[in-house]
């Protein structure tokens, strides 16, 4: 099966592919680095693996890694007060197209690291996106066309108390427990965004006061 798009979207498609491929590769390499040496890595020779590990231990790399870690930790201070508003805002339509649930999860669980690169935060996020991409590939190889949002829901284990892991308050924008409530939920989205944004502004002020003490 061949998929095409209008030529004016070539640059955007290239950027999206580079970003997703880069995130996937970084996640895979992070897993390789943490693997015990006695476990074989099928796509790396022993010499390449040894060189890769030595590079990860180089002082320059450790310095950049520690800086990225500090950046993540400083971001997590405010994240404790996150009521899911970021997920809602990220889920707003862009160019008239609603992003997939996985795209919202990825964008709200990533941080900037060295050289303006973006990296998923923590092993859990890498695991979720890794399994999501594998599931998509699995369905594609079987010739099954499926809504990507259904694949994400399958990977994270479905809904729990009306919420979906990683989406926060944006869950109801993608998954409706009652099909008849779809129009009501959609019409209430703008006011929900406003309310959440107001609450988060207040909580951020509280967090900033806590940090400065």
Q: pLDDT for 96-127, tens place per residue? A: 567 888 888 888 787 766 555 677 777 888 88
DSSP three-state, residue 43? coil
Strand partners, 159: 164
- For residue 22, what pLDDT is reported? 83
CA 166 to CA 128: how far, in whole Å? 10
pLDDT tens digits, 64-93: 777 766 655 544 433 443 444 555 555 555
Q: How many CB atoms lie within 10 A of CB 150?
A: 14
| Helix or strand holding residue 160 (H, E) | strand 159-160
Quick one: pLDDT band at residue 155, thresholds 50, 70, 90? very high
pLDDT tens digits, 5-23: 777 778 878 888 888 888 8
The span from the first CA to the last CA of the chain, in angstroms, equals: 59
Q: Exposed, middle or buried: residue 14 (CB in 10 Å: 0-12, 13-18, 19+)? A: exposed
Residue 203 has pLDDT above 90, yes or no: no
- Distance from the Cα of residue 17 to its chain's centroid: 15
Q: What is the average pLDDT score of the chain?
A: 73
Domain ranges across the chain: 58-212
* Overall pTM > 0.75: no
Q: Is 170 left (phi over 0), alpha (psi -120 to 50) or beta?
A: alpha
Quick one: pLDDT band at residue 94, thresholds 50, 70, 90? low
Average pLDDT of span 175-179: 64
């Amino acid at each position: 099966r061949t998929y095409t798009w209008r030529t004016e979207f070539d640059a955007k498609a290239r950027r999206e592919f580079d970003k997703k491929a880069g995130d996937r590769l970084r996640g895979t390499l992070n897993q390789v680095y943490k693997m015990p040496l006695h476990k074989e890595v099928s796509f790396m020779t022993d010499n390449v693996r040894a060189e890769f590990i030595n590079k990860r231990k180089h002082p320059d790399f450790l310095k950049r890694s520690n800086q990225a870690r500090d950046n993540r930790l400083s971001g997590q201070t405010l994240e404790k007060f996150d009521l899911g508003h970021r997920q809602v805002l990220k889920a707003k339509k862009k160019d008239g197209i609603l992003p997939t649930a996985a795209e919202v999860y990825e964008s709200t669980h990533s941080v900037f690291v060295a050289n303006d690169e973006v990296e998923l935060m923590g092993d859990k996020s890498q695991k979720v996106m890794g399994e999501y991409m594998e599931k998509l590939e699995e369905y594609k190889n079987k010739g099954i066309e499926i809504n990507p949002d259904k694949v994400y829901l399958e990977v994270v284990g479905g809904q729990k108390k009306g919420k979906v892991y990683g989406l926060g308050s944006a869950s109801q924008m993608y998954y409706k427990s009652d099909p008849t409530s779809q129009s009501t939920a959609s019409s209430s989205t703008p006011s929900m965004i406003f309310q959440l944004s107001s609450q988060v502004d207040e909580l951020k002020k509280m967090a900033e006061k806590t940090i400065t003490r």
